[in-house]
Structure 1
Amino acid sequence: MKETIIQTVLNGMRAVLTENQLDLLTDVTRKALSECEITPKATEEEQRNKENVELLGAFISSKKVEGCSDKTIHYYKSSIEKLIATVKKNVCDIATNDIRCYLAEQQEQRGLSKVTIDNLRRIYSSFFSWLEDEDYITKSPVRRIHKVRTDALVKEVLTDENIEVLRDSCQELRDIAMIDLLLSTGMRVGELVKINRDDIDFQERQCVVFGKGNKEREVYFNARTKIHLKKYLEQRTDTNPALFVSLHEPHTRLTISGVEVRLRQLGKRVNLNKVHPHKFRRTLATMAIDKGMPIEQVQKMLGHVKIDTTLHYAMVNQTNVKIAHRKFLN
């Protein structure tokens, strides 16, 4: 690069300088450039990519400070990166129609559900609102993109019979203890795998878990869970502090995927489809509502910040609606 610059200078001065003067100019120029670090001028695309990476990095840092989980951070980052790569503009120049077209293409080409499309819309809304708050843009282009209307589907819960069949199918004390703990506390699977043995208070039948955003809360379990947990821990021979570990050596702490796979296997064993940790959480919420627990207490039990989230989990039994109608309105 430096030699190219020197040659360009010499070619420009060759008509007015002698050979000796050109040689002197070469030496002087070469010496002057030796103190410099020369890099090629970035293309427009390279400059745009650099600016986009810096802005996205700053946004992700703000989300980390807010306490978002690693999983959420990854979802935000990958979703925004895909938008930027497709639109090929500086993020500050992205318009409403760019985002609308991108979401429409994603829905059509990849067959994404309305729920997923609305999740993407919320992510982009968060990103561009942050750009607006930080004065990078005047107005978020997502403001004019309204919430996607989704079908209100009543999600399945486990019946009393399902639960008993699952319990009966368990051949390991660990599995029945895990099922009982999920069902009686309604904790998230991410909370379950973080629990240590010392976190369990058998006297009060409670334990402390760390939920989304690393928020701490107490959860409570029933007498049946206490009995099965004690039996499971008493037969353990390993020294791992984790509450739930793998069945075989070296008895490592169970992961989220490990719990999900195990529950799916237990479900298939008794011909129950879609048995996953979250279904136990939804089942507990529905049972609590059906038995008359105030929604505010269900919200606290599940660790929800907004009560609207709790209402999504707790689908009230239609039979109870019928009974309540006869009781209060007939």
Structure 2
Amino acid sequence: MTENNPATEQCCTKNPLLAMLDAVDDWLKELTIQRHSQHTVLAYFAALKRLAEFLVTKNLTWSQLDKRQLSQFVAKRLETDNLAISSIQQELSAIRHFYDWLLKNDNVLVNPAAHYQIKRQPRPLPAIADIDLLTQFLDQPPPDDPKQAALWSRDLAMLELLYSSGLRVGELVALDLADLDLSSCQVRVTGKGNKTRLVPVGRRAIVAIKDYLNHRAIWLAKNEMALFISQKFGSRLTTRTVQNRVKLAASRAGIAQNIHPHLLRHCFASHLLSESGDLRAVQELLGHSDISTTQVYTHVDFAKLTQVYDNAHPRAVKKPNNAQDKLKPTDDS
């Protein structure tokens, strides 16, 4: 019988990290068979490899991970590795799915990531353009070239409608001619979740759309129902085309600020809220199911809100508006 050799035993002992990654490999093979993308598989492997390395330094295995250690791992990724919260959310998703698989195969008793959440970063307020800049953008003269002038009539109709009604670019390109009611100045919009809403269309947008419809009749391909169509193909425009046309219009107007379709939606919401102070109405017009989305989505003109408060609240400090109001009590008492 061969005598045990310590060196041989050490050589044959598997590296703890590699041993832990064996389970990951088995899971990812199943995902590959299930036709998950290679990008997803590689991202999952990278996330779990980092967690495995963390556990090995603490002499822990997959089954010994609990929420306390998971919090330590997340803290390390945040503070030491300077990872963005959105990236950590993706790593937690990989960990959560992996532990679901381990549970299914009776390799662990609990999923420590099942209900684990980290506080999301506050969504940044969107940039907006002031009214003077939008006037420069929307009131620019048409190009001299007749073909480009015809395209500008379509582009202006799109831009006016985006700003007039606060549409998403996807909602804009999805519009059919039947969705537009010029007589009542309304448009029927199909938004997220296939929900429809009726939105007013401004006077300037109506004028621009009527001008564009003359060209649409010439460009129209057979049976095309889309409101906004390609001059060349007569078919529905893509979101990318609209984005490119907006940038071209900004360049023609000599505007350095990054103008894009969603910026016009931001401006619609911000300017409307600033003048009305009616958050619920803006929520309905934007098609938001949750008013908290509207609160983050729009800029609030604080000076305007202060004016509304001063004029409406019984305990607010109002400006004197008559001789009696101007009388001030003396300090003799």
Distance in structure 2 (CA, Å) of the matches to 1:98 and 1:80 = 21
Give the gaps of 5 or more residues in structure 1: 1-42, 58-73
Output the CA distance in 2 between the equivalents of 1:255 and 1:211: 16
Shift of residue 212, structure 1, vs aligned partner: 1.7
Q: Which amino acid aligns with 1:124?
A: S
Aligned counterparts of 1:262 and 1:106: Cα–Cα separation in 2: 40
Q: How does 1:23-62 map to 2 (within 5 A)?
A: 47-52=26-31
Q: Secondary structure at the match of 1:148?
A: coil
- What is the CA-CA distance between 1:153 and the residue it aligns to? 4.3
Which amino acid letter does the alignment assign opposite residue 264 of structure 1?
Answer: K
Residue 291 of structure 2 corresponds to which residue in structure 1? 307
Aligned residues of 2:47 and 2:94 also touching (Cα < 8 A): no
Give the counterpart of 2:245 among 246, 262, 265.
262
Deviation of 1:80 (Å): 7.8
Name the aligned partner's letter for residue 317 of structure 1. Answer: D
Q: Provide the C-alpha distance between the structure 1 equivalents of 2:213 and 2:196, rounded to a whole number of angstroms.
A: 24
Match status 1:124 vs 2:81: no
Q: CA RMSD in A?
A: 4.1
Equivalent in the alignment of 2:203: 223
Counterpart for residue 65 of structure 1: none
- C-alpha displacement at 1:202, in angstroms? 1.4
Length-normalised TM-score, structure 1: 0.64
Q: Helix, strand or coil for the counterpart of 1:217?
A: strand
Partner SS for 2:299? coil
Structure-to-structure mapping, 1:152-231, within 5 angstroms? 153-169=124-140, 171=142, 172-231=152-211
| Unpaired segments ≥5 residues, structure 2 | 1-21, 53-61, 143-151, 318-333
Q: Secondary structure at the match of 1:218?
A: strand
Which residue in the other structure is 2:118 paired with?
A: 146
Letter in 1 for 2:119: K
Is contact 1:87–1:98 with CA below 8 Å preserved after alignment?
no
Q: Distance in 1 between matches of 2:251 and 2:66?
A: 48
Residue 61 of structure 1 is matched in structure 2 by: none
In structure 2, what is the equivalent of residue 63 of structure 1?
none
Equivalent pair of 1:191/1:211 in contact (CA under 8 Å): yes
1:297 pairs with 2:281? yes
Percent identity, aligned pairs only, is 24
Deviation of 1:304 after TM superposition, in Å, equals: 0.9
Judging changes above 3 Å, is the alpha-carbon distance between structure 1 residues 159 and 44 closer, same or farther for their aligned structure 2 residues? closer
Q: What SS does the corresponding residue of 2:139 show, helix, strand or coil?
A: helix
Q: What CA deviation, in whole Å up to 9, does each residue of 1:132-160 have, x standing for no partner? A: 9x98984451634421344x644322221
Range that drifts further, 184-193 or 170-179: 170-179
Cα distance in 1 for residues equivalent to 2:242 and 2:76 = 35
Deviation, structure 1 residue 78: 5.9
Distance 2:242 2:116 in 1: 41
